[in-house]
């Protein structure tokens, strides 16, 4: 309990600062989601192009 009371003065943030930090974290999470979606779409596009080139190569 003494550790909690010792760190209590450092944990005093205003509501505005806490809200700002929450919004920043939410934006970072959204960027991660968009990055994963973009990476998945890029992989799908590359696989599609690879399959087309492979199909054209077989036609002799």
pLDDT in tens, 17-41: 999 999 999 999 999 999 999 999 9
Exposure of 55 in the CB half-sphere (CA atoms within 13 A)? 6
pLDDT band at 56 (very low <50, low <70, confident <90, very high): confident
**pLDDT confidence of residue 59:** 64
- Please report whether residue 34 resides in a domain: yes
Whole-model pTM? 0.63
Residue 7 included in any domain = no
Tens-digit pLDDT profile for residues 46-55: 999 999 998 8
Domain that holds residue 34: 14-58
Confirm whether 44 is domain-assigned.
yes
- Assigned domain for 23 exists: yes
**Domain count across the chain:** 1
Q: Rounded to whole angstroms, how far apart are CA atoms 31 and 25?
A: 10
Q: Is residue 5 part of a domain?
A: no
Q: In the predicted model, is pLDDT for residue 57 greater than 60?
A: yes
């Amino acid at each position: 309990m003494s550790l909690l009371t010792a760190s209590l003065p450092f944990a005093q943030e205003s509501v505005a600062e806490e809200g700002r930090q929450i919004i920043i974290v939410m934006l970072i999470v959204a960027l991660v989601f968009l990055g994963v979606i973009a990476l998945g779409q890029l992989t799908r596009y590359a696989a599609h192009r690879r399959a087309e080139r492979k199909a054209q190569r077989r036609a002799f």
